[in-house]
Amino acid sequence: MAKPELPATPRVTEIERPKLALPKGRHKVLLHSCCAPCSGEVMEAMLASGIDYSIYFYNPNIHPKREYEIRKEENIRFAQAHGIDFIDADYDTDNWFERVKGMEWEPERGIRCTECFDMRFERTALYAAENGFDTITSSLGISRWKNMQQINDCGQRAAARYPELVYWTYNWRKGGGSARMIEISKREEFYQQEYCGCIYSLRDTNHHRRQNGREKIEIGVKFYGHDDLKQEENR
């Protein structure tokens, strides 16, 4: 199935959102983005509030490389459609595997995920401190599959390394944020990833599927909204 192209001009979800306010005295945000579906609502919410931000894509956990490239390209296209600066960081998988060594069988949301978040946020914080950003945040917390407190703790720990930097702990799920995330994903027909991202989450997700009589994950074939279109065609 071919990936549909985004329109030349962005389609922003028409909704009355509360005006967001950065932490006191803060002006410029570096948004760590894990993927387009999770960051779509975060991006549009900040745009609607006139917040100055750039996207930082640093996700060496994503496996395999094809999955990584698809997620990254989705995010790039959406950022370009909205005129948002996109910083493409390293895909240093060797460092990631070294960081989580010995944690291969830890459960999702466990210590392996903490190490993964720490690594990604530490690099985000370093880039922010070296390039004039005073605030970092992440789209990771908008997903209901993630532990928001775990993510916030990792973000704050990374930002604390630099006295001029803070981690913005805004709850992107509240006020309908999670629902708008899905709405935007369907509207843009984003690639729909079916596991968190790392080789171990892929392994465990496929194991769960086999136990429930489902086929293993196929990379690069599923997009938001396409199942809805098929249902309409079959009526």
Q: Name the binding residues for [4Fe-4S] cluster.
A: 34-35, 113, 116
Q: Which residues of 60-96 are buried (b: 16+ CB within 10 A; e: fewer)?
A: bbbbeeebbebbbebbbbbbebbebebbebebebeeb
Calpha distance 167→156 (Å, rounded)? 5
Please confirm whether the linkage preceding 23 is cis (ω < 30° from 0): no
Residue appearing with tokens 């790039």: 76
Annotated binding site: 34-35, 113, 116
